[in-house]
Structure 1
């Protein structure tokens, strides 16, 4: 990422570095001017000369102020551009990854990477670049000014402790890198736990688990604190050591430079300038530590960001995809499947097919693979070739986007965004058709309830739709799927929170109004499937029965037993 960015914006860094060098050059002239003024005052004081020198110093200071603004604009501004562009790139990359990636990576860790880690990389590209250039250029030029303007002998003596500063910086840089990585890991763990707990706060309260959750949070928070303190201890030792060796340089300057002034080898003005230059030289040595600190943090965070960049989608897209305009036929042929990275076979030799306009019911025991069937059809997970066909074309030859543009998916978990009901129904649409939204809300049997809200369709539903009941959320998600007007609509056990009569009413209304649409209904309430064109029954990943309702009842197998049991339960509840 950084290489590509620098290829495009290298000139902004070049301009910033050039301006920074001019600032450093101007800075080097001030001690020399002060030294000349001191020597002038000692010999033949002239107020006009002093005034001229003061004006020069003020002019240089103003020029430095302007140039400092410019290098900040070019270097720090460009690093901010990198942060903006990289965050967008990473977000787009995350959206391109398969569902399996998010099954294995927690949202808290991803949030930490897009915030904390990206900020550390930006710091390396901003302060890291500035300090690197400033320290290296100032170190070389300051030594030249000290040697040529004052004395090479005094310069070499006062510089004896400076190599030790560089060694200390290198040693502590490795420690800082290692401990910063630990801090980032603990921060990610804490972020994950916090995000998950806040999202599930209603479960926490309903189970009266406040104390237990607080204990677990405190445990993770303390681990984060310990990691941060471990890093702080290294930094706390590092900078005092740097100051100590820097002070030794000043002691040596006074010890050897004082007698040289007394003997007349060096003037008082030159000695004052020398001490100013020595202070400037100490800064680059100390800055080396800052540079290593910032760059090591940036390196550690960049590695974590590259984990996202280098991640490849589990679902591979075809190089020359076949484009389909509509879904006319779907065929599953001897489908045996297990999720990537797992050993359990979820589906075992499943075969069935259906055509446009059919209503397909999928029923079975818990964990029998019902949802997996439709997830694979939408290419949410990879599937081997020769197992699923749309319009007699292998789905591996059709792009994921093409397939998903033709399928409306209503998942088991009803997820709503913290926005108005209307915008949730017309999700991701540029132009919202209010009448269309109302129409599909009526079909989903939720219109009257939306109208009863204080702000109707403009009511904001809160995070994940928390202000709505479970049944209301499910029906809004159905309206959202219908609003898309896709060829195939999948209802993945999405009406479990509504009563059986409402579920039957919704499915019947959809069936009557959209005979040309294909519907896949996954449900535990078998009564709504009486008019289905095909019902498949799964048990432990195997397709054990398939046919219409009457045919399955005649088989007197698993479906028939489940249906009779539900009918008895309904009769008992009605009494």
Structure 2
């Protein structure tokens, strides 16, 4: 149970609720144990009345009293059982809530490298299915363990006081039941782990299929995807059936041993009654009730073992991610001011997952209020520069300074709060356009939202929608065109009033006229803001204070637009080609 030690902090947090649940459980069991002796007394009274030849009416008041006690104790047992579930089971829900929040918080803290190595479906399965398995340990397993322990401590002495011999025969099948359930539970644990791992695989397949449905339709490969899903479904069915076949033994075995115990009680009890070793038939009825009370708790020893093993397997999977140390650490807890000067000193970077060198000895400086444009071929390392400024990764060699302070010494939240970033692939949430823009600044007014949309040249498009800014977007903004998604993403960045703006080829899907408007708006508001624009277009770069040409991770040219078009190289060639394309149109 070493993996489950992680949950101890939650048990300590809710210790008072658990203690109250323990007391309620004991009280519930005490009321439950009132019934068997009074059933015996009721039968003994009837038997004695018959033997003495007295009419039943003579013991009517006694019978009514006994029956009232039995009914009253049953009601109180039911009430305290309800309260028991309201405390202990509720605690398990609180723990489930806390654990999911801890896992989600860890997901947020983990670096980009982690998400490159792990699939979304697996992440979702661990925070849902696996946490659900752990909750069963934190609730039902604890509750039934307390019930079983309390019952045995209370019931065995009562049985021995009534008939030691009959007690011995009564409990003989119970250890056999517990051992059988344990071995069944062990097999259930192994097969459950396989089912859980498969569910992660199925979740990943489903998530990728739904996200890439447009590609699937465009390529007409629906039948192939269906075949793959069918193969997965058959694998899942086989794993689930293997689990169900073992689980199917659980209750039949329990019922069989309940029946065996009952038969033993009746046979041995009857023999002892005939031999005069027990005083009445009521003792046999009392022991039959004890058997029924004991059998389920004994069975739960195995069942609880199964729950614990399943929870252990699930918590181990959860711990794998909880114990993952983010490669990007926040080294400064205090807030650090950020103004806007960026310096790269001989920066090199190699991607850990692919071992590809994205940057090689890159050096440049952008002062506060300046605009830097970065141009280069696909895969030259342009986007990597922006990722390093946002400290999505740490450099392999060299140094990045923000306002002459090493970037690792800045508070990570302060740094990222100062950045308005627009990624290459615009990502919009399944929410209203307004809320997607407010994601950049949740405290902004409606007027600020409209102003940001105007600066991003998307306001007129939004106004044409029936619900305007309250229009709800589909997943990833699929209800918008590529250019509209990019411009909403730009509005989201602009509303932030950031110290840095990082635009990663975010105008590729808009026409040159709209691009010109947006860039002019950016220049107007960029007087005190450092702006870095990554682009393939000369039109996006020409007004920048400085332009870097990146090739194969190296800076091969840098200067202003006027300087670079006079120098032989990639920039001049690109300028001439794009000028000819514009003229041909």
Quick check: TM above 0.5?
A: yes
Aligned to 2:75: 62
Q: CA deviation at 1:348?
A: 0.9
Residue 350 of structure 1 corresponds to which residue in structure 2? 362
Counterpart check, 1:287 vs 2:297: no
Give the distance between the partners of 2:173 and 2:77, measured in 1 at CA: 30
Report the equivalent of 2:207.
195
Alignment-derived partner of residue 90 in structure 2: 77
Give the Cα–Cα distance (whole angstroms) in 2 for the partners of residues 192 and 494 of structure 1. Answer: 29
The change in CA–CA distance for 1:293 and 1:143 in structure 2 (over 3 A counts) is same
Residue 554 of structure 1 aligns to a residue whose secondary structure is coil
Corresponding residue number in structure 2 for 1:492: 504
What secondary structure is seen at the aligned counterpart in 1 of 2:443? coil
Corresponding residue to 1:96 among 103, 109, 130: 109
| 2:259 counterpart of 1:259 | no
RMSD: 1.8
Structure-1 residue corresponding to 2:550:
538
1:274 is aligned to 2:279: no
**What residue number does 2:228 align with?**
216
Match of 2:53 in 1: none
Name the CA distance, whole Å, in 1 between partners of 2:505 and 2:557: 19
How far apart, CA to CA, are the structure 1 residues paired with 2:335 and 2:444?
Answer: 31
1:242-291 per-residue CA deviation (whole Å, 9 max, x = no partner) reads 33333332332233222212223221011111111122222222111221
Give deviations 1:265-322, integer Å, cap 9, x for gaps. Answer: 2210111111111222222221112211222222222112222321221112214667
Residue of 3, 12, 16 corresponding to 1:11: 16
The 3-state SS of whatever aligns with 1:537 is strand
* Structure 2 counterparts to residues 417-456 of structure 1, below 5 A: 417-427=429-439, 429-456=441-468
Asked if the contact 2:182–2:305 (Cα under 8 Å) also holds between the matched residues in 1, the reply is: yes
Q: What SS does the aligned partner of 1:311 have?
A: coil
TM-score (norm 1): 0.95
- Deviation track 1:522-570 (CA, whole Å, cap 9, x = no partner) reads 1111222112111111112122111112222222112212221222222
Instruction: Return the alpha-carbon distance in structure 2 between the equivalents of residues 106 and 484 of structure 1.
Output: 31
Deviations 1:204-247 (A, max 9, x none): 22222211111122222222222222211111124323333333
What's the counterpart of residue 86 of structure 1? 99
1:393 aligns with 2:392: no
Q: State the distance in 2 between where 1:394 and 1:118 align.
A: 40
Number of the residue aligned with 1:105:
118
Q: How many residues align?
A: 571
Q: Deviations over 1:329-370 (max 9, x none)?
A: 211111111123331111111111111121111111111111
Structure-to-structure mapping, 1:547-558, within 5 angstroms: 547-558=559-570
Pair 1:331-2:340 in alignment: no
Deviation at 1:428, TM superposition (A): 5.5
For 1:470-485, what aligned pairs fall within 5 Å after superposition?
A: 470-485=482-497
Structure 2 residue matching 1:293: 3-state secondary structure: helix
Following the alignment from structure 2 to structure 1, what is the Cα–Cα distance between the partners of residues 572 and 283? Answer: 104
Q: Does the CA contact (< 8 Å) of 1:426 and 1:432 recur in 2?
A: yes
Report the Cα distance in structure 2 between the residues aligned to 1:322 and 1:476, rounded to whole angstroms. 30
Match of 1:186 in 2: 198
Q: 2: distance between equivalents of 1:543 and 1:411? A: 22
**Partner residue of 1:27 out of 23, 32, 35:** 32
Gaps of 5+ in 2: 1-5, 50-55
**Rounded Cα–Cα distance in structure 1 between residues aligned with 2:21 and 2:189:** 27
User: Which is further off, 312-321 or 179-188?
Assistant: 312-321
The residue aligned with 1:165 is 177
1:481-527 deviation digits (Å, cap 9, x = unpaired): 00001111111011111122322331133113433322111111122
Q: Secondary structure at the match of 1:467?
A: coil
| Structure 1 residue aligned with 2:572 | 560
Q: TM-score, normalised by structure 2?
A: 0.94
2:92 and 2:138 in contact (8 A); partners too: yes
With over 3 angstroms needed to count, the CA separation of the structure-2 counterparts of 1:518 and 1:367, relative to structure 1, is: same
> Within 2, Cα distance between the matches of 1:166 and 1:428?
58
- Deviation at 1:385? 7.0
Equivalent-residue separation in structure 2 for 1:430 and 1:18 (angstroms): 47
Gap change, CA 1:157 and 1:320, over 3 Å in 2? closer
Q: Residues 171-218 of structure 1: CA distance to partner in whole angstroms, max 9, x if unpaired?
A: 223222221111111111111111121122222222222111111222
218, 221, 244: which one pairs with 1:206? Answer: 218
Aligned counterparts of 2:557 and 2:100: Cα–Cα separation in 1:
50
Question: Paired residue for 2:238, among 209, 226, 232?
Answer: 226
Q: How far apart are the structure 2 equivalents of 1:344 and 1:417? A: 31
Partner residue of 2:140 out of 114, 120, 127: 127
Distance 1:514 1:11 in 2: 57
Q: Give the CA deviation at 1:65.
A: 2.0
Seen in structure 2, the aligned counterparts of structure 1 residues 484 and 386 have a Cα distance that, compared at 3 Å, is: same
Q: Give SS of 2:375's match.
A: strand
Q: Is 1:302 the counterpart of 2:307 in the alignment? A: no
- Residue 384 of structure 1, CA deviation: 4.8
Quote how far apart the aligned CAs of 1:470 are. Answer: 0.8
For residue 566 of structure 2, give the secondary structure of its aligned residue in structure 1.
Answer: helix
